[in-house]
Amino acid sequence: MAELEVHVIAPDHRLWRGSAMSVTAPAANGYVGILPKHEPMLASLKPGTVKVVPTTGETLQLEVEGGVLSVDQDVVMILVEAGQSMMAVK
């Protein structure tokens, strides 16, 4: 089964790193959904909710004020502003 390697990083620390089935994020032109084998992309993030569905465990949510998302070869990098924290949701 294909999966994503996801890194969620703030300027001062790593918020989360792991394997995921999907990521949804508020890109500047609307929400974007990322699944394995997604084409490479780079997008700026607007305020909203990033959702990460890990391969194990509960869905993670992060409220962001902005940032950058990149996808390349099933690696998703999400760079967010300082002061953000992730929370698990059911």
Domain total in the chain: 1
Residue 70 domain boundaries: 4-89
Q: For strands 30-34 and 41-45, give the pairing.
A: unpaired
Are residues 5 and 23 in contact, defined by beta-carbon separation less than 8 angstroms? no
d(CA 32, CA 43): 9
Position 83: which residue type? G
Instruction: Say yes or no to pLDDT of 90 above 60.
Output: no
Q: How many CA atoms lie within 13 A of 66 on its CB side?
A: 1
Q: What is the pLDDT of residues 8-57, one digit of tens each?
A: 999 888 999 999 999 999 999 999 999 999 999 999 999 999 999 999 98
CATH number at residue 85: 2.60.15.10
Q: What is the pLDDT of residues 51-69, one digit of tens each?
A: 999 999 899 999 999 999 9
d(CA 63, CA 65): 7
pTM of the entire predicted model: 0.91
Query: Which of 41, 40, 57, 60 is closest to 49 using CA atoms?
Result: 60
The model's confidence at residue 81, banded by pLDDT at 50, 70 and 90, is confident
